[in-house]
Amino acid sequence: MKNFRRVFGLLFIGVLSAGAVPVWAQAIGKVTSVSQGATVTQANATKRLVSKADIMEGDLIRTDGSGQVQIVFADRTRVVVGPASELQIEEFTRSTGEKASRFAVQAVGGTFRFLTGRSPKAAYELRTPTATMGIRGTEFDFTVDSRRLTNLVTFSGEVRICTRTNSCARVSGGCAVVTANRGRIVQPDTPENKTSLIVENFPFILSQESLASDYRVRVESCGEVGKTVTTQTTVPQKSRDRFEGGGDPDARGDTRGGDERGGGYDEGADEN
């Protein structure tokens, strides 16, 4: 018995010193598509990210200027990490079935798409350098730009976004756009400025050709900008197997596409 414990201890130390992920670590997601260059840092070891690779809690995903990663999580949440982006999977705590009791990520910079899955609304938390987002069952894109401003556009459902100074707003519906700096949350003041903000910050609205069908949304609510890619967008109606299928539409809240009037914005919204 003493020899067994000694051998096991040496093996365990070897695993840690090598920076390897223990074999009993449980995958919480899977890469469904990747365009190079993209890397993942797991247990202090960085490696090239490939299609069908497992995603673990604590992973740090980075892409260069041409990289893109599409991920489906165990609760069927779907995330796209766009070019020149960095995303940390901070926590994914399983509850029952295909659900998580807590799903927290941190976006350091770049472009992202987030399509919620089957976990409860209260489970989701998304942090950026200037904002925290509580997700209320939705589909949305967001960016963290070079000035660390957080730009958000919703396509359906609702996102509650708060700045570091606790200025909060509820953003909902089709093509509702806001920007969060360190103190305030603001909307574009003219249709022209809204269009400019979309063109400069949301590449997946301009083109969804690089995305698999399960990662696409209806963007017609973004007006002429969205209409330019409508013919490229096909939204699947049925879900597929775990780690390979679409999310539950009912779990995301509103129907895809949102309100043609451009969504809603409620500054100073409270938690209720």
Beta bridge partners of 33: 70
Task: Locate 143 and state its tokens.
Answer: 């960016």
Spell out the long-range contacts of 14-18 with Cβ–Cβ below 8 A and sequence spacing 24 or more.
18/45
* Per-residue pLDDT tens digits of the chain, which is 272 residues long: 555 455 444 444 444 444 444 433 689 999 999 998 999 999 889 999 999 999 999 999 999 999 999 999 999 999 999 999 999 999 999 988 789 999 999 999 999 999 999 999 999 999 999 999 999 878 999 999 999 999 999 999 999 999 999 999 999 989 999 999 988 999 999 999 999 999 999 999 999 999 999 999 999 999 877 655 433 333 443 333 434 443 343 344 333 333 333 567 677 655 44
Count how many Cα atoms sit within 13 Å of the Cα of residue 107 in the half-sphere of its side chain: 32
Question: What is the model's pTM?
Answer: 0.78
* Single-letter code of the amino acid located at 62: R
Q: In whole angstroms, what is the distance from residue 212 CA to residue 1 CA?
A: 53
Q: In whole angstroms, what is the distance from residue 207 CA to residue 45 CA?
A: 34
Q: In whole angstroms, what is the distance from residue 41 CA to residue 86 CA?
A: 11
